[in-house]
Amino acid sequence: MRKRFNPNVKFLSLTYDRNTPKGDQIRKTDEPRPTTTCYQRLPSQQSIRLLCLRPGAENSPIETILSTYPLTNLPSYEALSYCWGTRSGSSITCNSHSMTIQENLYHALRALRRHDVERILWVDAVCINQSDIDERTSQVQLMRQIYQYSTRAVIWLGGHFQGSNEGVDLLLRIHKLALKDDNQINTPAQALTPDDLLKLGLPSMDSTGWGSLDAIFWRPWFTRVWIIQELTVSKDALVICGDRSIPWADLAHAARFILQHSLTAITQVDPRPATKLEKFRQAYLTCKGDQPLLPLLLEARDAFATNDRDKVFALMGLSERDTFSFVPDYSLSIEVVFIEFSKYHIEKTGTLDILSAVEDHSYRLKKKLPSWVPDWEVH
């Protein structure tokens, strides 16, 4: 049986250099909840809800239907990966009830809606009754399966912004160059010069397209801790920004080309958010989920989660080895979660390796934590 945390058990007492995302750019577990009466209790802990996005004209109201399915008998569906945001007030219809959702999700649904056929999606903010803490705790344990069983993850980077189309188009061009580059197996990667850009059919180093591409790599989605698992375990992923799209594999390929050929030095494009995520994905595919959790937590320490319980919970699905009997519980305080995880890790591994994650105590945000417990809020 899985065991929950027991707070009464006695026990011995890499950072990005960009600006921290603003509050309305980070997904939050404790965001304003969808307001609706359409939720009924799930029949079992192995059931999920899926959202049917009804077809409609571009500016018509959004109509949806929530249905419940057992994990053993799911229809084809896509799993949405996005930033929640804090601004709410946009309304959709769900099972004939009015539901208020976050603005970013509203724009995502409008962009994903088809004109002629329905689209089946899993969307956490709607498919999980966010006001039911027990359901949230239970559904978080299914996150890996939800994304694994989907036909693909749909990554929503946000709506159109100035230069976004130009940035995605440039990504696609770089991907084509990367494919040619891959065919030159015995040719070592060389740093490209400004003259090389023009020879390859790329914009000049002072083109606005490079700034637009850099802005794509630094969209808030890339900074979230939950997206690591969402991307990593999915069979396939499609990235959408405004009205442009690109397969994740092509985006990651282009990002690697930029690094290999030192394009950052002449264009100021920094693709590290994408290459870091691809590193997580490749490691998971190689290890088949049998990765120790502590290195994952350390590697993702600079990722953002407004509910800091998720700094631990969001990565547990990537490590079957270390988390089989460790169950997320959102009813516990953040301090208790951090303490219980440290205790569990020491007991599970039989080592004190977690002490390597303990930061300088002068930087601690959770001052009441024991000295041997890492404060995962500290980047």
User: Token pair for residue 137?
Assistant: 């705790």
Return the CA Rg of the chain.
22
Q: Where are the beta strands (DSSP E) in the chain?
A: 47-53, 63-70, 78-81, 88-94, 97-102, 119-122, 152-156, 237-241, 244-247
Residue 109's Cβ-count burial label (10 Å; 0-12, 13-18, 19+) is buried
Residues 6+ apart with CB under 8 A from 8: none
Cβ-defined contacts of 186-194 (< 8 Å, 24+): 189/260, 189/261, 190/261, 191/261, 191/262, 191/265, 192/261, 192/262, 192/263, 192/266, 193/266, 194/266
Residues 6+ apart with CB under 8 A from 96: 38
Q: What is the C-alpha to C-alpha distance for residues 98 and 88, in angstroms, rounded to an integer?
A: 13
Taking residue 39's Cβ as centre, other Cβ atoms within 10 Å add up to: 20
Q: What is the C-alpha to C-alpha distance for residues 160 and 114, in angstroms, rounded to an integer?
A: 18
Q: Specify the pLDDT at position 187.
A: 54
Facing residues of 70 across strands? Answer: 47
Q: Specify the pLDDT at position 339.
A: 95
Residue 53 three-state SS: strand
Residues 6+ apart with CB under 8 A from 350: none
Q: Specify the pLDDT at position 28.
A: 41
In Å, what is the CA distance from 277 to each residue of 27, 141, 228, 255? 17, 22, 6, 11
Q: Specify the pLDDT at position 319.
A: 86
User: Phi/psi at 339 (nearest 5 deg)?
Assistant: -65, -50
Judge whether 191 and 261 are in contact, CB under 8 Å. yes
State pLDDT tens for residues 11-56. Answer: 333 333 444 344 334 344 444 444 446 899 999 999 999 999 999 9
Residue 123 three-state SS: coil
Using H for helix, E for strand and C for coil, what is the string for 77-96? CEEEECCCCCCEEEEEEECC
Q: What is the C-alpha to C-alpha distance for residues 144 and 351, in angstroms, rounded to an integer?
A: 27
Q: Specify the pLDDT at position 37.
A: 64
User: Token pair for residue 189?
Assistant: 């990667």
Closest C-alpha to 238, from 73, 102, 81, 111: 81
From first to last of its 379 residues, the chain has per-residue pLDDT tens of 443 434 443 333 333 344 434 433 434 444 444 444 689 999 999 999 999 999 999 889 999 999 999 999 999 999 999 998 776 778 999 999 999 999 999 999 999 999 999 999 999 999 999 999 999 999 999 999 999 999 999 999 999 999 999 999 999 999 999 998 876 644 567 889 999 999 999 999 999 999 999 999 999 999 999 999 999 999 999 999 999 999 999 999 999 999 999 999 999 999 999 999 999 999 999 987 778 899 999 999 999 997 899 999 999 989 876 666 788 999 999 999 999 999 999 998 899 999 999 988 777 776 789 999 999 988 7
State pLDDT tens for residues 112-137. Answer: 999 999 999 999 999 999 999 999 99
Starting at the edge strand found earlier in the chain, the sheet holding 97-102 runs: 97-102, 88-94, 63-70, 47-53, 119-122, 78-81, 152-156, 237-241, 244-247
Q: Specify the pLDDT at position 324.
A: 60
- Summary mean pLDDT of the chain: 87
Sorted by where each begins, the domain ranges of the chain are 1-22+289-379, 164-285
Q: Specify the pLDDT at position 288.
A: 76
Q: Specify the pLDDT at position 201.
A: 92
Q: Specify the pLDDT at position 58.
A: 87
